[in-house]
Amino acid sequence: MSNEKLKYMSTPACKTLTKTLQEKADLLRAKDSFKEAAGTYLNSILMDRNNSETYLGLGICYKNLGKIKKAIENLEKAALLDSNKFETFYELGLCHLKDEMPCRAIKCFIQAIQINPENPDAIFQLGQAHEQCDEQDMALMIYQKLIENSPSYINAYLRKSSLFMKMELYKQALALYMNILKINPNYTQIYSEIGLCLDKLGKQNEAKRYYRKFLSAQPNDESANKILKRAEQLRQVKSSTNKLSLV
């Protein structure tokens, strides 16, 4: 690049234009206009290649457009320019998860947590990354720690209970699902999971009750037909048992 071009790009007018482009791109991104925002961020980068915020914004746009490799490339540039920004490492971790590279995601989430130890989302995603690495014990520990430090963070209860279900630890999963209802009594989608736990534990009458509660609250849920069939099976079993007892 010529000296004249470098001189032009360092002028106050150029810096003002760069800032204007970045602000326009930020507004477009806030409106979920990711394609338009990406183009505007690229124009801003042509004017200034040393702005970490621009690369961060562009990386987020690419992530939302499904261009994960490009997202990672730009987020890594943002991290090189500013190694103390939580959002950069958090978004980079999310991209590595989408790219099925959980070990890299773990490093990013740890970095994000070091910058902002109080953010529950980063801790939760760290647990998700360990799950992807088939490190269930570590994930369980992370979710438990998150529950202790952020007792109203429902996602931690959901993921931990989901792991318990996979491990066929239905009693432990049931306790967590019940805790979710204590935190948010209107979280009616959890009724089906409670019903399933009770069903697995041999408590069919209670299971039927929660299956019915789920069907009443979530009649259009994609799992409603499956729950309805199971509730009907339990009803028929009960009816058959009653008839036999009368003989």
Sequence-separated (6 or more) residues with CB below 8 Å from residue 166: 136
Q: Are 186 and 195 in contact (CB under 8 A)?
A: no
Residue the block writes with tokens 């470098």 = 6
CA-based angle 86:184:112, to the nearest 5?
A: 10
Q: Three-state secondary structure along 148-191?
A: HHCCCCHHHHHHHHHHHHHCCCHHHHHHHHHHHHHHCCCCHHHH
pLDDT at 4: 40
Whole-angstrom Cα distance, residue 232 to residue 203?
Answer: 15
Rounded Cα–Cα distance for residues 74 and 41 (Å):
11
Note the pLDDT of residue 235: 80
Inform me whether the pLDDT recorded for 241 exceeds 80.
no
DSSP 24: H
- Give residue 244's pLDDT: 31
Q: Is the pLDDT of residue 6 over 80?
A: no
pTM for the structure as a whole: 0.83
